[in-house]
Structure 1
Amino acid sequence: MIAALAVSAVVLQMSCVAGLLGLAILAIALSRSKSATAVIYGATLAICLAALAGSLTWLLGGAAKATELILPIGLPWLGAHFRLDALAAFFLIVVNLGGAAASLYGLGYGHHEPTPYRVLPFFPAFLAGMNLVVLADDAFSYLLCWEFMSLASWALVMAHHREAGNAKAGYVYLVMASFGTLTLLLAFGLLAGAAGDYGFAAIRNAPHSPYVAALVLILMLLGAGSKAGLVPLHVWLPLAHPAAPSHVSALMSGVMTKVAIYGFIRVVFDLLGQPSWPASVIVLFLGSITAVMGILYAMMEKDLKRLLAYSTIENVGIIFVSLGLALAFQANGLKLAAALAFTAALFHVLNHSFFKSLLFFGAGAVLMSTGERDMDKLGGLIHRMPFTSFVVLVGCVAISALPPFNGFVSEWLMFQAVLQSPELPQWALKIMVPAVGAMLALAAALAAACFVKAFGVTFLGRPRSPAAETAGEVDRYSLSAMFILAALCLLAGILPGPVMDALSPVAVEILGGRLPVQAHVPWLTIVPISESRGSYNGLLVMVFITISASLAVYFIHRFASHALRRGPAWGCGFTDPTPLAQYSGASFAQPIRRVFGTMVFHARDHVDMPAPGDTRPARLRIELHDLVWEGMYQPLAGAVGFAADRLNRLQFLTIRRYLSLVFATLVTLLLVLAIWS
């Protein structure tokens, strides 16, 4: 009976994928129809909900034995293998929950899309590609589905290709995606070995030498890390996310980066077998650098969607830090600590998909209403878009890791894992893990400051432009999607125990250990290790905050003056009543820029102060540099362009020179073969 249910579960998932691919074809047929937006997004919503229900039921129902489905396509001697296990079920929940929310949001947002025929066919195809990547159980199918996912998302990035900068974003994204696929191809080639066993079951059971394992780890960090946004492979995120439609940006940031993390977990934790502790050092180092650099980049931004894209880099770094901790504990046989770090990583994967999708939806709502992404041209939207302002505030609090919302719980679990580092026997890890914990604390503090800036400059104060003055609330579909995600952020924060218990089958499957059952702890408290090590009760924290805030409001209204007093908004010491005298994004970030800017961004302030008697205005110009782009990618692009210009001459050779070139190449290859043999 259980086996039959498992088979039906994987068949259901593949049927949903087939339905999404069918919708992509239907969208082409309906491309010019007025009803296309409602039909495609409505059907995509229904399919994603069916896939979500199937994977959620499978995971919560005890996570039956993993079952595979073999289709007669792919490599002739292998076929296409698709498999549903606990890890795949969890990431299918992330994918299809994000897809359902984006589809609901698209029912309203899609009517504002100027070129829907460029988006509708690729939206369900993108979701189908992500589902297939998670279900794939052989290297060929995995790479084929990975490339399909990348190309579908590239087409969505290029949907508004005529807008300034979008063509460059699509080009950079395509190059980075191709690079990632190449490194994954090499990684799977090493895993398959000389026997060429590309099935994941064969790879999982085969022995791998330490040298192969180290090389595969590096290749996976390059391949999966480039798609996830690890520094210095992050350059496509701040370009592609703003270029794509907002609900697609939510999928790319909140979901697709998690599919990349799934690929890393599947190979490094599952297929490679028992890890070695030096591998964890590399992952911890890259994760901590990514977390701090990502939020520093976000702090400097004034484009709302670029800020959210850089924030995604920070959260990806946090997840990789937790995965690095899990590798370190697993390598040393500390099963409980490894399960804690691994559960924290998966919990943050889920949480980030909630609040980052919510924030991209909020940015899309602002863009729909005002046509602006520049925060310095917004302001005062809390009076014109009160519902959007409320849910965006929830997202900002959640991503800032403040209780009682979900971001706090997963980051608290990560710090609990950091506190287990004295149990590690290696002195390198004993020293490194607390340093990484300090960098995580710095990233958390900067994230809170960043989203105070994002919400305050965008929604508070006075409007800085006519577009902000005339803004209005968005449609009910968009609001419904945002309110659902805001509610999930709260529920996961005040009831984290059921989420942790639901993640236990994944930890058991991958690590062979799990956290204690949280359902047995009274009062909905979570105790990840033991009560002496730490415990948390989100519901009590929420009750305390609610009562404290209510009492403060009561005493203020009861004992303060009842007179209504109005005065001008504070102008930062200036008496000029213009809204431009308010804090801007750049002025808010100035203290952070002064501390970190010289080292991280080579920041310089250029002041043009006119001489006495000169009536022209004084000007302050801030110069920032992306050192990764300028130091790594620009020289590489220049070298490729230089080589392409030189090689371009080959197409203008005569037939005699072509034949001579072919002959010389043949002789050279024969000499190499003779020397090699």
Structure 2
Amino acid sequence: MLLSFLLILSVVLLAVGAYGIVAPRYPEGSHRVYATTLVICTVFLLLTAGYLAVRPQAFSLTLPFGLPWLGMHFRLDALSAFFLVVVNLGGAVASLFALGYGRHERAPERVLPFFPAFLAGMNLVLLADDAFSFLFAWEFMSLGSWALVMAHHRDPANARAGYLYLVMACFGTLALLLAFGLLAGPDGGYNFAAMRGNQMTPGLSALVLALALLGAGSKAGLVPLHVWLPLAHPAAPSHVSALMSGVMTKVAVYGFIRIVFDLLGEPVLWWWGGVVLAVGGITAVLGVLYALMQHDLKRLLAYHTVENIGIIFIGLGLALAFQANLMYFNAALALTAALFHVLNHSVFKSLLFLGTGAVLAATGERDMERLGGLIHPMPWTALAFLIGSAAISALPPLNGFVSEWLTFQAILISPELPQWFLKFLVPAVGALLALSAALAAACFVKAFGITFLGRPRSPVAAQARETDRYSLTAMFVLAGLCLVAGILPGLVIDGLAPVVGLLNGGARLASQHSQPWLTLVPVGPLKSSYNGLLLLLFMVLSAAVAAWLIHRFASDATRRGPAWDCGFPETSPMTQYTAGSFAQPIRRVFGSIVFQARERITMPPPGDQKSARLEVELHDPIWERLYEPLAGAVVMISTRFNYLQYLTIRHYLSLVFGALILLLLGMVLWR
């Protein structure tokens, strides 16, 4: 009954998308679309969260559609329910934000039909229980998001982003199609239940793992498959960017987990975890380094999605390594950390994209070099963005700290692994994780400081006004969740317990809600524990005592004087730190190696009135060494075969006959 109702809600979302085609013709059409989507996503969220809380058995349903004699299979279990919570939480908040932000949309006719359809596609991916239904919904999700990326298609940068996104989406779908083909086996059992029952050789299982990494990793943003993400996410409207970065990438993580942890089953080989760990560690560090070099707020946030996807895959790689060695409690800790970070990233990244959308609506700018001083005209947006920045920087007592701390706890118990390769690899990945966490904090000091502090650097920043109440409500809902998940993480971990048990042979972390003072004890009271509630109380009390002491014992005399200006008497905003100058030390340390950064300084001689110039040259080695040669090879091959379109009918018939002969010979040799 519940599964049927969820499918009906998905169909209703599609109907709302159909109404979105004509909605721009009516004065309140945009408001109706987003309000209806908000209601549907909220109902979806409440139903799936309730299902996850009572921990019932899985529900299945088969509909007489799709491929002949196969139908379309749908299933609701703990894993799909958790990701449905993530998707519809993001969808509800993005819809609430869009009630106000949608008034600023330049092309509502290109957004309103596809926004509900995009949400429907993600929900159907999570409910699908056979390869056809999964890939059909996956492609529907991809095409819906592509249409939203192309909403402002007259901008050449957006058109390029849409083209690259479509190419990478097709590549990912092809990889998943091949993975499902291998899982189905010679009998062609495309139902997930049949796939679970198939016994595969270690070689084929490893190939499925590689294809799942390629297919799901290209959608999630794993390095080096991330190239579309920093182009497509900024091109979309801000509430869509929040969905793509905070939610759609988690659907890709779901696809990887469903294939590798559920459909593949045993045996798990220990080196699988090493591969996923290494990819996750490299992705985390490169993602944050790319982000530090950006001046565009939305591109910066997009690259931080790459970093956080790397952190999630570090946890999944650890879980695979522990499961291969039958260390199921340790695997439960790693899986809990990864799933907790899935939820956390969806919350704080959506918050940051919505905050950027509020800034964009108020100023029309995403370039930090043209912002500054926005904390005065936009104090509430600044506060919400500050909470999101602290959360993504893994600062306690917010939620980002808890999931990264749990990941470190899983890394610290890795010496129990018997393989020497993993004994060396896991600490190295732990060092990469620590480096990425430190660089993320530096990056968001830059993002918040340059955007909201100091003096306005442009007239549009000086004339900015606070955003609307719908947008503020949406941002503070997410900010509140960042705080609640950070101070009461045990409740979230207990909610994740049925998901972890499903993927981990029934093993899960001990119940946390019964711990004194709601203390989080992932390993043991003597080894590690964390209490976000007590930490918050300590921070509040210590700040209150410090404020009281200052006001009680400070001098009553008022002294006024000019602010220290570092030797610059000018009040021009040109004397402030810029985004480029803030990132310069890190660029000089890491950029020369990773990005081949070069700086050229042109200093006129004394007496010359010309201005000095500093030129920075950065290279993207992944794009230049992998994708540009590949694109060049495709162009060269297609040019060589271009003459085929000018053949005569006789030549075409001869070509078809030759191809048929080769295929028949191949079939004979195969037998």
TM range (shorter): over 0.9
| SS of corresponding position for 2:521 | coil
Compute the RMSD of aligned alpha carbons.
1.4
Q: 5 Å matches for 1:489-528? A: 489-511=482-504, 512-528=506-522
CA displacement 1:523-542 (0-9 Å, x = unmatched): 11011121111000000100
Unaligned runs of 5+ in 2: none
Query: Structure 1's 562 and 646: CA in aligned 2 closer, same or farther, altered over 3 A?
Result: farther
Q: 5 Å matches for 1:253-332? A: 253-274=245-266, 275-332=268-325
Query: Structure 1's 100 and 662: CA in aligned 2 closer, same or farther, altered over 3 A?
Result: same
CA distance in 1, matches of 2:660, 2:386: 66
Q: 5 Å matches for 1:132-531? A: 132-274=124-266, 275-511=268-504, 512-531=506-525
CA distance in 1, matches of 2:225, 2:473: 35
TM-aligned CA deviation for residue 31 of structure 1: 3.2
| SS of corresponding position for 1:382 | coil
TM-aligned CA deviation for residue 667 of structure 1: 4.5
Aligned to 1:90: 82
CA distance in 1, matches of 2:17, 2:124: 15
Aligned to 1:4: none
Percentage identity across paired residues of the two chains: 65
Query: Structure 1's 181 and 107: CA in aligned 2 closer, same or farther, altered over 3 A?
Result: same
Aligned to 1:599: 593
TM-aligned CA deviation for residue 635 of structure 1: 1.0
| SS of corresponding position for 2:298 | helix
| SS of corresponding position for 1:235 | coil
Cα contact 2:23–2:112 (8 A) shared by 1? no
Aligned match for 2:535, one of 541, 559, 583 = 541
**Counterpart amino acid of 2:619?**
H
CA distance in 2, matches of 1:667, 1:536: 69
CA distance in 2, matches of 1:67, 1:59: 13
TM-aligned CA deviation for residue 618 of structure 1: 0.3
**Counterpart amino acid of 2:169?**
A
Unaligned runs of 5+ in 1: 1-7
CA displacement 1:508-567 (0-9 Å, x = unmatched): 111020101001111110111211110000001001111111222222233334455566
TM-aligned CA deviation for residue 653 of structure 1: 2.5
Query: Structure 1's 33 and 563: CA in aligned 2 closer, same or farther, altered over 3 A?
Result: farther
CA distance in 2, matches of 1:398, 1:507: 24
CA distance in 1, matches of 2:121, 2:563: 51
**Counterpart amino acid of 1:331?**
A
TM-aligned CA deviation for residue 130 of structure 1: 0.3
| SS of corresponding position for 1:165 | helix
Aligned to 1:5: none
CA distance in 2, matches of 1:662, 1:319: 49
CA displacement 1:69-90 (0-9 Å, x = unmatched): 1111111111101100000000
Aligned to 2:584: 590
Aligned match for 1:661, one of 655, 661, 664 = 655
**Normalization by structure 2: what TM-score?**
0.98
CA displacement 1:414-456 (0-9 Å, x = unmatched): 1111111111111111111111111101110000000000000
CA displacement 1:321-359 (0-9 Å, x = unmatched): 000011111111111111111011111100111100000
CA distance in 2, matches of 1:652, 1:550: 81
TM-aligned CA deviation for residue 611 of structure 1: 2.3
TM-aligned CA deviation for residue 578 of structure 1: 1.5
Aligned match for 1:22, one of 12, 15, 29 = 15
CA distance in 2, matches of 1:649, 1:623: 40
Cα contact 1:571–1:581 (8 A) shared by 2? no
Query: Structure 1's 529 and 551: CA in aligned 2 closer, same or farther, altered over 3 A?
Result: same
Query: Structure 1's 208 and 664: CA in aligned 2 closer, same or farther, altered over 3 A?
Result: closer
Query: Structure 1's 554 and 277: CA in aligned 2 closer, same or farther, altered over 3 A?
Result: same
| SS of corresponding position for 1:106 | helix
CA distance in 1, matches of 2:659, 2:520: 68
CA displacement 1:150-205 (0-9 Å, x = unmatched): 00000000001112400000000000000000000000000001000000001011
TM-aligned CA deviation for residue 570 of structure 1: 5.5
| SS of corresponding position for 1:372 | coil
CA distance in 2, matches of 1:571, 1:184: 58
**Normalization by structure 1: what TM-score?**
0.97
Count of residues paired in the alignment: 669
CA distance in 1, matches of 2:443, 2:320: 30
Aligned match for 1:67, one of 42, 59, 81 = 59
Query: Structure 1's 571 and 144: CA in aligned 2 closer, same or farther, altered over 3 A?
Result: farther
| SS of corresponding position for 2:112 | coil
Cα contact 1:516–1:529 (8 A) shared by 2? no
CA distance in 2, matches of 1:576, 1:240: 40
Aligned to 1:110: 102
CA distance in 2, matches of 1:588, 1:423: 42
Aligned to 1:652: 646
CA distance in 1, matches of 2:667, 2:50: 58
**Counterpart amino acid of 1:615?**
Q
Cα contact 1:37–1:116 (8 A) shared by 2? yes
Cα contact 1:9–1:55 (8 A) shared by 2? no
| SS of corresponding position for 1:190 | helix
Query: Structure 1's 266 and 257: CA in aligned 2 closer, same or farther, altered over 3 A?
Result: same
